[in-house]
Amino acid sequence: MNSIEFPFSDLIAGYVTHFDRENDIFGIKTSDGRDFQAILTPMTYAKLIQNLDELYPDATGTMRSLLEPGRYLFTYGVFYPDSPKFEAKQIIFLGRTKGDYLFEKPNWWINQVSSLGNFYFKSQFDDGDINYRNYRTNLALSGERSPDNFSQETDTISRLVYGFATAYLMTGEDHFLEAAEKGTEYLREHMRFRDLDEGIVYWYHGIDVEGIREHKIFASEFGDDYDAIPAYEQIYALAGPIQTYRITGDPRIMEDTELTSDILPQ
């Protein structure tokens, strides 16, 4: 086995086996049975796991009292080549007591998908008017949209529609359903081509938007399948509408799906 002659950081998930208060060392045993010795430093900090939109739940002051045997936690830190111990930089506790897992609370995932949905809703439709003409494929981490001339990709809009439809199924919040329905209509009006002679439907890669004008992009512009019509893009185009269909039962969505499937390999 090659010796490691450089420091590297890693994340360890496991159960506390013991805590030596005198030396600030605690043991971690992973679910697959590996044991590690972690050491606390003056710079080590800790927190409870937090959901989106929640305040930062600091636990640095009570960190040592929480290191009780049997508690599951995540420890991020550094392995140094001259020490067998793992130097802990951050500890994330999953609850306030041993056996408490905050993400198992009934509303945890509902709150999370609601937060995600509201972030994208506000970022794409900041004035509350659900107009997919303003949709941007790329958003800054702050939610800021790109300038006026931009591209809209069919698969990313469809995935956003899928997310809104799923958010409605989980939360029952009506603005998510409205966003899913209007996104489905936008895809049908701007990204869909129906060949009446052949009796098929296929979907454009996307459109370039310049003011009130738009230019259809038929074939893929991605490097690995450039100038082709990838089957996966046709499938992605259906993902959002089909999730919306599960809510509304709109027969037009099912018709589009069946006519699109006719161009795919059987």
Q: What residues form DSSP beta bridges with 45?
A: 90
Query: Which regions of the chain carry the CATH code 2.40.50.140?
Result: 8-104
Architecture of domain 8-104: Beta Barrel (2.40)
- Strands in the chain per DSSP E: 8-20, 25-29, 35-39, 45-48, 72-79, 86-93, 150-153, 192-195, 200-203, 206-210, 213-217
Confidence of residue 10 (pLDDT cuts 50, 70, 90): very high
* pLDDT for 112: 96
pLDDT at 265 over 80: no
* Mean pLDDT, rounded, for 119-145: 82
C-alpha pair distances (Å), 20 with each of 33, 37, 67, 105: 20, 10, 10, 32
Q: Please enumerate in sequence order all residues whose Cβ is within 8 A of that of 235, keeping only pairs 6 or more positions apart, or say none.
A: 264
Mean pLDDT within 11-39: 96
- Where residue 223 falls among pLDDT bands split at 50, 70, 90? low
More confident residue, 59 or 265: 59
Q: Is the pLDDT of residue 222 over 90?
A: no
Tokens representing 152?
């809209």
pTM of the predicted model as reported, rounded to 2 decimal places: 0.81
Predicted local distance difference test score (pLDDT) of residue 146: 63
pLDDT digits (tens, 9 = 90+) for 68-127: 999 999 999 999 988 888 999 999 999 999 999 999 999 999 999 999 999 999 988 987
Pairing between strand 8-20 and 72-79?
Answer: antiparallel
Condensed to tens digits (0 to 9), the pLDDT of residues 46-65 reads: 999 999 999 999 999 999 99
pLDDT for 65: 96
- Judge whether 235 and 159 are in contact, CB under 8 Å: no
Model confidence at 142, in pLDDT bands (50, 70, 90)? low
pLDDT at 199: 86
- 151-208 residue pLDDT tens: 889 999 999 999 999 999 999 999 999 999 999 999 999 999 998 888 889 898 888 8
Residue 236 in this model has a pLDDT that exceeds 50:
yes
Q: Is the pLDDT of residue 147 over 80?
A: no
- Structure confidence at residue 1 (pLDDT): 45
77 beta partners = 10, 88
* Closest alpha carbon to 79 in 1, 4, 2, 3: 4
